[in-house]
Structure 1
């Protein structure tokens, strides 16, 4: 501190330096001021404004600039709920309008259903057709009868026991094995181009010429040569060309009757035949398979074989009427059982099919003419036994009418 009465020396003002950003910078004077007598003290009294400025010259930046950072806006403050007010309800989704209902294409559905049913029906037909037992029944021999108008079927009921167990043979009263296969039923069915169908019974004891065997009972031809020899014998005896053949045995016949639910027949008198296994009262009644088989086989009546042929035609007509009735066709289970049982039970010619059998059943469904060959009498022949003789003149006119596809004259029809 200076002595009292002296004015203190004036402090030098700080030198102002202009910074690069343009703002003044106050700098303090140096603490250690060099003495006045030093050489460098002769520097200018005024400070250089650039004394404190950097001496480096600005140069262009050649590096990669750092990425600019964007300033993110601060998150909005939470929404405050005023006091004494319920919190806002969550917004419910707006109900969507109902979608328009798609119109059902009933025509297309019906068409698809009909196509499926048709394919199933066709498949069932071919399945049943393949189930038929086919044999070479229609022979091709020299001098065979020429083709005749209309359609002729030969239907044979044999005593074949194929497929039957001993218990079934006892139940059906078949009598066990009796040697070569024989026939108790021979029917000739003529289906004309127009008009009624004719069913003709040929007695099994008919005495006729058998090709290569001489004359004998007609059922001997079946025992000796089977279906081919029987067909040839019938063609030469009648003058009619056989177009189709069908044969059924004991078990097959009973199965078909059971498949349709039994057949109703009317008896004028009771029949008691232990050999056929039946004891039937008079009157109308439904016969199941076992009783039906005994009914068409029995000869325990006044006219023996003639009554049996009448019973066979009566029962065959009733069976076919039942098989083609609405009660059978409208019941798919009964119809399927009937068709499959018939296909497995029948033996047909190799050229026959299920639709041929259906055509036959339709032709025999009712309104047909049933008769037998005109009979001339009975006789006994050595080597053949008791035989039945045809009335040659009447039988010739009888079969000529069928060969010409005409109805049989009323005076030649035998009413059974």
Structure 2
């Protein structure tokens, strides 16, 4: 099929929002099983709680839209999950857009989570939203056909084609089949952090972001939901203001959240545990295979041996786009080596536990997120 060129500013009409039959959940892949188990084990109201949480879940039929032309599943049982953070950039989230407001839904954060057989380790690969990519021909959830296109800014694919086209593009980029899809709504993310009682981060340097209003001193701070959302989205408060510096903060915050959820006693209070589970199930949307509480619990239980210290974080290797210096493109040789390592279940080049080695240097040194719970 002939390819067309798209710019990052010429975006087709936004797709309809995923069907909220029930809004899906599982606290960023790991730790959610413990949240739900604790919440449901609290006594005679377990059945009501189960039905309520089940009613929060929501799904999108990714597999139907993707069809059969996809990478084969890895033969050794490894799993790859595409995690997307998205919002409409209006209303309460619009104030936190870091100066980038548009009024249309976009994916603001994208991570490929690779979990080898045994589920005792994981690699998280962040894809910068400003990466220029080739989008393959794809079908939206509504059945609309989009032709292949060159030079598409990665985060605009969600706007033009929805979740299915994002998955199709990532599978084309990586050669990996995405076994599951998890989408995090930023408004729900804010409520989830508040339900947890906040998350602590420790800064080497202060952050001041005039666009979001985020101001954090050097040292340790406990972030509430609004501050946490600004923290993972800030670009102007760190480094050179690009998306690359922000990715380091996002990965560190993810590890802090997971550590906090797994910390003994963090969710020992049934009321707090249920509040976290309720916020979590309202925050996420998944593929249909994960779209029931039973399926989510089963999947989460398979990850119970995965500890945050065994999660490796890395960013897709990129270089400056020669056409538009405000954009980046994948470093083809290094990116190919990265994806091949995941396909072969070999160590990722340059990655180390709890670090973001390929992020901008200023990001890695700027902040470190601790796992301490807010008390």
CA distance in 2, matches of 1:140, 1:271: 41
**Match of residue 348 from structure 2:** 408
Cα distance between partner residues in 2 of 1:243 and 1:142 = 13
Structure of larger gyration radius: 1
Q: 1:141 aligns with which of 63, 67, 79?
A: 67
Q: 1:344 — aligned with what?
A: 282
Q: What TM-score comes out, normalization by structure 1 length?
A: 0.64
Taking the aligned partners of 1:361 and 1:338, their CA distance within structure 2 comes to 19
Number of aligned residue pairs: 294
Deviations 1:154-182, CA, capped at 9 Å, x for gaps: 111112368xxx5x457757879723201
- Contact (CA 8 Å) 1:161, 1:249: kept in 2 or not? no
For the residues of structure 2 that align with 1:170 and 1:135, how far apart are their CA atoms?
25
Contact 2:338 2:349 in 1 (8 A): yes
Contact between 1:160 and 1:249, CA under 8 Å: does it hold in 2?
no
User: Residue 396 of structure 1 aligns with which residue?
Assistant: 336
Asked if 1:285 is matched to 2:221, the reply is yes
* Match for residue 193 of structure 2 among 257, 260, 263: 257
Distance 1:356 1:269, change over 3 A: farther
Distance in 2, matches of 1:347 and 1:337, equals: 18
C-alpha spacing 1:187/1:170, structure 2 compared with 1 (3 Å): closer
The structural deviation recorded for 1:206 is 1.5
C-alpha change, 1:361 and 1:129, in structure 2 (3 Å) is: farther
User: Which residue does 2:373 correspond to in 1?
Assistant: none
Matched, 1:180 2:129: no
Higher relative contact order (CA 8 A, sep 6+): 2
State the distance in 2 between where 1:183 and 1:230 align: 9
Matches within 5 A, 1:239-254: 239-254=175-190
Deviations 1:224-256 (A, max 9, x none): 101000000000101111011111222111111
Structure with more of its chain in helix, by fraction: 2
Give unpaired runs (5+ residues) of structure 1. 1-115
* TM-score of the two chains, using structure 2 as the length reference: 0.71
Residues 190 and 404 of structure 1: CA distance in aligned 2, closer, same or farther (over 3 Å) = same
What residue is the counterpart of 1:302 in the other structure? 239
- Does the CA-based 8 Å contact 2:98-2:234 persist in structure 1? no
Residues 187 and 202 in structure 1, CA contact (< 8 A), matched pair in contact too? yes
Judging changes above 3 Å, is the alpha-carbon distance between structure 1 residues 356 and 399 closer, same or farther for their aligned structure 2 residues? farther
Q: Is the CA contact (8 Å cut-off) linking 2:89 and 2:104 kept in structure 1?
A: no
Task: Note if 1:191 corresponds to 2:104.
Answer: no
Residues 128 and 407 (structure 1 numbering): CA distance in 2 closer, same or farther, change over 3 Å? farther
3-state DSSP class of the match of 1:222?
helix
Task: Specify every segment of 5 or more residues in structure 2 that has no aligned partner in the other structure, as ranges.
Answer: 1-40, 137-147, 365-375
